[in-house]
Amino acid sequence: MQQGQLVPLIKTVNASTIIALVKHFESDIYPLLSAAGIPDDILQQHHEYLPEAPIRNLLGMMAERADPEFYGDLLVTSIREYFIPKLLEHLDSPETIGDAIEQMKTAVLHESPTTQLSIGYFNDTPWLCRFKPVEETDGYVWSEIFAILFIIEFIRHASKQDWSPSYIAMQSDGADKLALILKSQTTHYYTKRKLGAVALSNDILGLPYHSTAKFTVPSPSADTPREITYIESIYHALAPYLCRQSMTISDAATLLGTTPRTLQRRLSQEHTSFKHIRDNIMLATACRLMENKDYSLTDIAVELGYADIAHFSRAFRKLTGFPPKDYRKQFVA
């Protein structure tokens, strides 16, 4: 994780669609989720985001268990049936595919705040570009393949054509895997590039945008999403994990794709610490759970990973100045 770079995030609702694909390979999905670094109870939690790293791990692990062509078809199906319709909710009546792409660049930020798309021109040819810090892992390869498939499927949906790009540039070396999925005889691939990109054309950008009729008011989220800070991205990434007291700074650094020393230094530059973040997430989670009358204080202590209610009460009182039963009585009621 470079200086000033936000933690890559993905919305939990979108991550759950990818997690559901595991059922095509394993009857018991939880060992694979655990190996990928995804909390077993993630689908029961109420956190808005997950860090991207465990989802990339999961994409790579599923690829190890599947025929590449079958796996590619599975990814394309999920893109067509879930991710494209989800994106279309953010578009506001674009007239051309070029307009739709401009709106898509903003819409993607609503779902993955650290994903940046741009149009770049090389030799007078427009390319839809995507940049991510490169990792030498199968998970990174398959996450890039997923992103390129998404771009292609979006263009196909918008143009109502069985379109394939003439050129694709990839940061990874996954061209052979992508070629098996696309089955295009006319697409040329470039690997180990500084960014991932799909070649378009001015003709494509000027085509009328076609989509199914919409009978709802455009989503207010079509507005530019609020930018988040580095510390906010840390909170979003670690919240699904830090409600449990067993997480160490080494565990957190692995999830965030950095080293404990680098993470410690970055947090110090922001005038905070891993302990401070962990305490704040614990407090926020405890307060949220206390708003639910179905949770006893003992249940909350167990949920947060404390040995017993006494340990939880001491920790809560140290942070707030009063015991949790008083908080529940005075504030929740």
Section 6-14 average pLDDT: 87
Flag whether the pTM goes above 0.85.
no
Across the chain, mean pLDDT equals 87
**DSSP letter, residue 104:** H
Is the model's pLDDT at 3 over the cut of 80? no
Q: What is the pLDDT of residue 258?
A: 85
Q: Could you read off the pLDDT of 84-123 as tens digits, one per residue?
A: 999 888 898 899 999 999 999 888 887 887 788 999 999 8
Contact between residue 132 and residue 56 where contact means Cβ atoms under 8 Å apart: no
> Rounded CA gap, 1 and 259, in Å?
9
Reported confidence tier of residue 221, pLDDT bands at 50, 70, 90: very low
Tokens of 107: 């819409």
Inform me whether the pLDDT recorded for 245 exceeds 70.
Answer: no
**Of 141, 198, 140, 209, the residue nearest 169 (C-alpha):** 198
Q: Which helix (H) or strand (E) element contains residue 260?
A: helix 260-269
Residue 194, judged by CB atoms within 10 A of its CB (0-12, 13-18, 19+), counts as exposed
**Does residue 326 register a pLDDT over 90?**
no
Helix axes 274-290, 309-320, angle to 10 degrees: 110
pLDDT band of 215, cuts 50, 70, 90: very low
Q: pLDDT tens digits, residue range 262-311?
A: 999 999 999 999 999 988 888 888 888 888 888 889 988 888 888 889 98
Beta-strand relationship, 167-169 and 188-190: parallel
Mean pLDDT along residues 308-329: 87
CA 185 → CA 165, 188, 278, distances in Å?
11, 8, 52
The pLDDT score that the predictor gives to residue 112 is: 82
Sequence-distant (6+) residues with CB within 8 A of 320 are 283, 327
Instruction: Tell me the C-alpha distance between 178 and 79, whole Å.
Output: 15
